[in-house]
Amino acid sequence: MLAYIVRRLLQSVVVLFMVILFSFALPYFQPEGIYTPAYSVLGTHATHANVLAWGAQYGLNHPFFVRLWNYIIALLHGNFGFSYKQGQSVYSIIATNVPRTVWLALSALLLTLVIAVPLGMLQAQRRNSVFDYAGTGIAFVLYAVPSFLLAFLLIQVFAFGLLHLPSQAPTALAPWAMFTDPVAFILPVATLTLLGVAGISRFMRGAVLDVMVQDYVRTAKAKGCSARRTLWKHTFRNALGPIITLLGLAIPGLFGGALIIEDVFNYPGLGYQAYNGALNGDLPLVIGITLLVAIFTVLGNLAADLALGIVNPRIRLERSGK
């Protein structure tokens, strides 16, 4: 098991290295090379000498591999570089924004699971019933609504119409705003949750249906196992595998979704920062945030893999055997 974890960690390092390589190489393909952001920082009338001096501040005058090496070494010291636009280190920007986005994304994810997993199972159990069709229909529509539109519609109905919920998330910069003003989080979290439920309930339904036709479920029924026990001990546990894998893979999407929600609800977080960074050509910020999400994802995938071993003893045996 330990050997397996070490091997997976090494793989993760390789993956992260590729993310760095990719996000480092991409800016070189801009119309005017890596110096392009200089014009959005210094203004369009900056002289050639200004641009070069600006670039030297950020080490842009070094060759690609030297920059890459310096970046990785700095990264190992917890230094994500310096923002082109905001006059502070990327690390400090990330540190302010991480708790806010993680809070938003995690609470939505938990709610999604609590709703979507039982929903998908019930739908699979009562396949082709009115309940199943209604659930599928709603999921289909929710899946087709662009997240920003759903957010606007929810604001229209629940902020301006029925309940007068706040239409904006708390804008106070302190990370604990989320605890002092929970009502303001209802709409952003609800939007993200609805979107998540649409995808995961359908996936869960499919996973349970796949398991329900397996031989071991038939065997369980044949040996006189009660319906409830068959469902929880045999079907549920096996259907959980794909969901766990999916959750690990869903992390980048979660941050992408948070970007839209943060924008609509005026809630400064990682997505908001990444979006504005991209608009302003603030590449160190975008790369830093991307890398952070990649780290989360890699860890999430690893956690999902280990959880899979806990849920499914066959996988555990397979790994320790190798």
User: Which of 87, 283, 173, 105 minimizes the C-alpha distance to 274?
Assistant: 283
Check: CB of residue 20 under 8 Å from CB of residue 291: yes
Binding flag, residue 222, other proteins (CB under 8 A): no
> CB of residue 179 vs other proteins: minimum separation in angstroms?
26
Q: Which stretch binds other proteins (CB under 8 A): 46-54, 86-94, 96-104, 252-260?
A: 252-260
Binding flag, residue 141, other proteins (CB under 8 A): yes
Reading the block at residue 154, the tokens are 């929810």
Residue 10 vs 114, nearer CB to other proteins: 10
Residue 99 vs 253, nearer CB to other proteins: 253
Orientation of helix 283-311 relative to helix 313-321, angle to 10°: 100
> CB of residue 248 vs other proteins: minimum separation in angstroms?
10
Binding flag, residue 279, other proteins (CB under 8 A): yes
Binding flag, residue 293, other proteins (CB under 8 A): yes
| 3-state SS track over 67-104 | HHHHHHHHHHCCCCCECCCCCCEHHHHHHHHHHHHHHH
| CA 236 – CA 161 distance, rounded (Å) | 40
Binding flag, residue 315, other proteins (CB under 8 A): no
Q: Which stretch binds other proteins (CB under 8 A): 58-66, 77-85, 141-149, 229-237?
A: 141-149
Coil, strand or helix: which one is 46? coil
> CB of residue 191 vs other proteins: minimum separation in angstroms?
13
Check: CB of residue 285 under 8 Å from CB of residue 86: yes
CA geometry: angle 258, 240, 315, nearest 5 deg? 115
- Map the footprint of other proteins across residues 29-68, applying CB under 8 A: 29-31, 36
With residue 175 as reference, give the H or E element that holds it.
none
Among 76, 213, 314, 322, binds other proteins (CB under 8 A): 213
Binding flag, residue 18, other proteins (CB under 8 A): yes
Binding flag, residue 180, other proteins (CB under 8 A): no
Among 64, 69, 143, 216, binds other proteins (CB under 8 A): 143
| CA 291 – CA 255 distance, rounded (Å) | 12
* CB-count exposure of residue 175 (10 Å: 0-12, 13-18, 19+): middle
> CB of residue 295 vs other proteins: minimum separation in angstroms?
8
Which residues contact residue 185 at a Cβ distance below 8 angstroms, ignoring those fewer than 6 apart? 104, 107, 169, 170, 178
Residue 105 vs 121, nearer CB to other proteins: 105
Contact set with other proteins (CB under 8 A):
11, 14-16, 18-19, 22-23, 26-27, 29-31, 36, 140-141, 143-149, 152-153, 155-156, 160, 213, 249, 251-253, 255-257, 259-260, 263, 271, 274-275, 278-279, 281, 286, 289-290, 293-294, 297-298, 301
